[in-house]
Amino acid sequence: MTQKFDEIPELPKGSFERITLDAKQAERITKPSVSFWQDAWYRIRKNKGALFSLILFGLIVIMSFLGPVISPYEPNAQTITHANLPPKVPGIENLGILNGVGTLGGEKVDLYELKNVEVNYWFGTDGLGRDMFSRVWKGTQVSLFIAFVAAAIDMLIGVIYGGVSGYFGGRVDDFMQRIVEILTGIPNLVVVILFILIMDPGILAIIIALTITGWTGMSRVVRGQVLKYKSQEFVLAARTLGASDSRIIWKHLMPNVLGVIIINTMFTIPSAIFFEAFLSFIGLGLQAPDASLGTLINDGYALIQFAPHILAFPAILLSLIMIAFNLIGDGLRDALDPKMKD
């Protein structure tokens, strides 16, 4: 044995009195337990990307309402003489950016001077002389509206369908799942385009097209979770106590399934934003003068060579929203992960 023995220390009298601790105290000394949601919130706060995205997204939402109001111009008001003006922001024009300089016939000139424009357009103007600042924020508002409504409908249908299918199981589940299997077999793109074609173009048409099969993803994850939880003890206990089906679903299953619903929705929203923009870009979206980020990008693209700013602002905003949502979604998924692992 080479076990090291320290010198046996001299100790003050009374050191060797026996003391009693009860086990409860021992429990208390160990790490305090935190609830699942507290824990999740703690983790999402630690995720800088997600937190930053949340703030950024909040700002974008606020601006989408505030922007059209604080701009002196209506989103659809045309001032033909002010067409295709590059952005000009007073205060930073000396920095060499956003100074109203654009190219005309291959040369760089201050178009505001040239066209005798006294006022400033922060994001410039489009081909019809409309203020891009108010148009972009208004478009953001519309895009977000479409995405949120579509995501909400997806969520509603998906949760109900998946919940019922998983909860009742058996024949009902079999039948409902066959339908979902066929629906998911149809490419989303095809469904969306076909539905858009038969409806009057507009916000409603886009929302319907996006949700017509969009809910299947949500229904699948909800069904999976319900199947997992419904046979667990607390649910069985509630059932033996005579709780009704709807009570069991809402009071007992829902809270446990909430995590996946939130995460799934966080990924549905950017996907809806994308599809709306996509449809608008190929000409199946909103009709003029209504604008969404997608139609603005489409308009801007036509003038990319001469007035790139018309494309730049909506494109940047769209990208920012998409990035923010993906980061928030990732963050939420990581934060809620322990429950999703199975």
Partner 1 sequence: MAKYIGKRLIYMVITLALIATFTFFLMKILPGSPVASADKLSPEQRAVVEARYGLDKPLPVQYFDYMFGLVQGDLGISINQFKGADVTDVILSRMGPSAQIGFQGMVLGTVLGILLGMIAALRQNTWVDYTSTFVAIVGISIPSFVFASLLQYWFGLKWDLFPVALWNDGFMSSVLPSVALAMFPLATAARFIRTEMIEVLGSDYITLAKAKGASGSEIAFKHAFRNALIPLITVLGPMAVAILTGSLVVEQIFAIPGIGEQFVKSIMVNDFAIIMGTTIFFSVFLIVIILLVDILYGVIDPRIRLSGGKN
Partner 2 sequence: MEKILQVKNLELSFNTQAGEVKAIRGVNFDLNKGETLAIVGESGSGKSVTTKSIMRLLPEQSAEFKNGEILFGGRDLTKLSDKEMQKIRGKEISMIFQDPMTSLNPTMPIGRQLTEPLLKHQKISKTEAKKVAIDLLRLVGMPKPELRMKQYPHQFSGGQRQRIVIAISLACNPKILIADEPTTALDVTIQAQILELMKDLQKKIDTSIIFITHDLGVVANVADRVAVMYGGKIVEIGTVDDVFYNPQHPYTWGLLSSMPSLDTEDAKLYAIPGTPPDLLDPPKGDAFALRSEYALKIDMEQNPPFFKVSETHSAATWLLHPDAPQVEPPLTVIERMKKFPGSRYYEGGAV
Residues of this chain that bind partner 2 (CB under 8 A): 1-9, 11, 14-21, 23, 25-27, 29-31, 46
CB of 299 to partner 1, least distance (A): 12
Which option in partner 1, partner 2, none does residue 29 bind, with CB closer than 5 to 8 A by kind? partner 2
CB of 7 to partner 2, least distance (A): 8
CB of 22 to partner 2, least distance (A): 8
Phi, psi of 28 (to 5 degrees): -65, -35
- Of 327, 328, 332, 335, the one binding partner 1 by CB under 8 A: 327
Contact indicator for 203, 285 with CB cutoff of 8 Å:
no
Helix (H) or strand (E) holding 283: none
Q: Answer positive or negative: Cα dihedral of 279, 281, 283, 287.
A: positive
Single-letter amino acid, residue 138: K
Q: Which of residues 258-287 bind partner 1 (CB under 8 A)?
A: 270, 274, 277-278, 281-284
Q: Which of residues 182-221 bind partner 1 (CB under 8 A)?
A: 182, 185-190, 193-194, 197-198
CB of 261 to partner 2, least distance (A): 28
CB of 244 to partner 1, least distance (A): 35
- Measured CA to CA, the distance from residue 292 to residue 279 in angstroms comes to 11
- Measured CA to CA, the distance from residue 326 to residue 15 in angstroms comes to 60
Q: Which of 183, 138, 154, 157 is nearest to 272 (CA)?
A: 154
DSSP string of 157-213?
Answer: HHHHHHHHHHHH-HHHHHHHHHHHHHHHHS-HHHHHHHHHHHS-SSHHHHHHHHHTT
CB of 28 to partner 2, least distance (A): 10
Q: Which is nearer to partner 1, 145 or 301 (CB)?
A: 301
Which option in partner 2, partner 1, none does residue 194 bind, with CB closer than 5 to 8 A by kind? partner 1
- Measured CA to CA, the distance from residue 118 to residue 211 in angstroms comes to 47
Interface residues with partner 1 (CB under 8 A)?
181-182, 185-190, 193-194, 197-198, 270, 274, 277-278, 281-284, 297, 301, 304-305, 308, 311, 315, 318-319, 322-323, 325-327, 330
